[in-house]
Chain A
Amino acid sequence: MSTLAHVFEAAGIATLVLASMADVAKKVGPPRVLACEFPLGRPLGKPGDAEFQHQVLQQAFSLLEADEPIFEHFPEVVESDEMPMACSLPPRDDPKAPPAVDEARGLISAYRRAVDRKGVTAVGRAIEPEQIPAALDTLHQWANGAAWKDVELPGKNTVAVCHDIRAYYLEAALELVGDLAPGGRSFDAWFYEVTEAGKTILEARRALKAQDAPFPFWFYMVAGHLE
């Protein structure tokens, strides 16, 4: 973002950078920076809070009054709420299926309601929603000792498939909790700590690492700090 600011300024366009990583913005040094310590992925700070978003924009636009490069901090910090969100999961339906597979099947109605309401979905990078349970079945097998070269993953690209599974759960979960909007990282905490799907992805990732699968194949399946 800060790099683009340099490019745009050189082309005669004034820029304002909302920086989520103040240290990086300082290094790259675009001319007008408002550093905001908000949850990563939320550069305006608070979803659904137009008043707060306007406060951020007001300070950002005020930087245009300066006659030289300027770097300010937005005074309010928004911390990530990192406790798992409260969201009930479907009860066990098919005891013969791996728990994550059963769980994902149980969320399809909520997921479809979400897509009907919003009109768009982030699922589909590698697999369609109907393939989520099959993908989790493969990850379950990898987690339980199957060689990744022997059991093929629908969609093949592990990073893209894990993105689709996470997006499927996100869209279904937000539909289930309604207006109880989670804080930053609260969904991720729920997904990786509470759901069978998230736990299966983490276990499969550990298994791939142990099988000496190529680094990009397993590392980017989840956030880098998770193990």
Chain B
Amino acid sequence: MSEDRAATRGDDAMRQLASTMDAPEFTSTSFTKLDKPLSECRVAIVTSASLHRPDQERFSQGDTGFRAFDRDDRNLIMGHWSPNFDHSGFHLDLNVVYPIDRLQELADDGVIGEVAPRHFAFAGNQPDTVSEIRLDTGPQCAAQLNADAVDVVLLTPV
């Protein structure tokens, strides 16, 4: 791999930039210990890839909301506004961002109990404080996950 071409430095540049940016700090870390085996747990995916169905409202620039979709939905669009990462992987195989087929295989094999009925997407590019997600839309999403009796959430970043 050549070191001097701009395109070769994309991921390194982004990781370097991100490591210097302010990040929200939490004074305590909540820790939910499972009270049953994984093979009895209902699992949901929450991604920051701005995924949405074609019939749902697109993510706007600075969108702090989320979209919910059904576990059978595969016609998803990646509506992320950042030009700073690869989009081709998702086009080739949505599981590389949203591993819904892998989750179903784990359920079929009895590794996890069940795939949750709904899954959720936020936008990865958020205001630095992420206060809306902490205080407003995040708790709203948590309430919906609890309404679906979700035990475990897998978070996938984009």
Contact = CB atoms under 8 A, between A and B. Distances in A.
Interface stretch (A98-106, A136-144, A183-191): A183-191
Interface in A173-206: 174, 181-182, 184-189, 192-193
A185 B83 contact: no
Nearest to B66: A4
B57 to A, nearest CB: 12
A1 B30 contact: no
B152 A15 contact: yes
B6 A226 contact: yes
A50 B95 contact: yes
Contacts of B29: 6, 9, 29-31, 69
B15 A187 contact: no
Nearest to B61: A159
A48 B99 CA distance: 11
A107 to B, nearest CB: 15
Contacts of A24: 18-19, 21, 23
A91 interface: no
Contacts of B88: 47, 170, 174, 181-182, 184, 186-187
Interface stretch (A36-44, A146-154, A207-215): A36-44
Contacts of B83: 159, 162-163, 166, 220-224
A23 B153 contact: no
Contacts of B103: 57
B145 A8 contact: yes
Nearest to B37: A64
Contacts, number: 282
Interface in B143-158: 143, 145-146, 150-158
B99 to A, nearest CB: 5
Categorize the interface residue count of chain A.
35 or more
Contact of A18 (B23, B31, B155): B155
A43 B96 contact: yes
A61 to B, nearest CB: 6
B70 interface: no
B115 interface: no
A135 interface: no
Nearest to A193: B7
A31 B144 CA distance: 21
Given A41-B97, A50-B95, A125-B58, A5 B105 contact: no
B46 A64 contact: no
B6 A227 contact: yes
A79 B12 CA distance: 10
A214 B25 CA distance: 32
B9 A163 contact: no
Interface of B: 1-2, 5-11, 13-15, 17-19, 21, 23-26, 29-34, 38, 46-48, 54, 58, 61, 75-79, 81-93, 95-97, 99, 101-103, 105-106, 111-112, 122, 124, 130, 133-134, 138-139, 141-143, 145-146, 150-158
Top 6 nearest A-B pairs (CB, nearest first) are: A41-B85, A41-B86, A11-B142, A47-B93, A7-B138, A9-B30
Given A5-B153, A14-B33, A48-B93, 9 more contacts: A4-B138, A13-B151, A15-B153, A21-B157, A29-B26, A41-B158, A45-B96, A120-B75, A163-B81
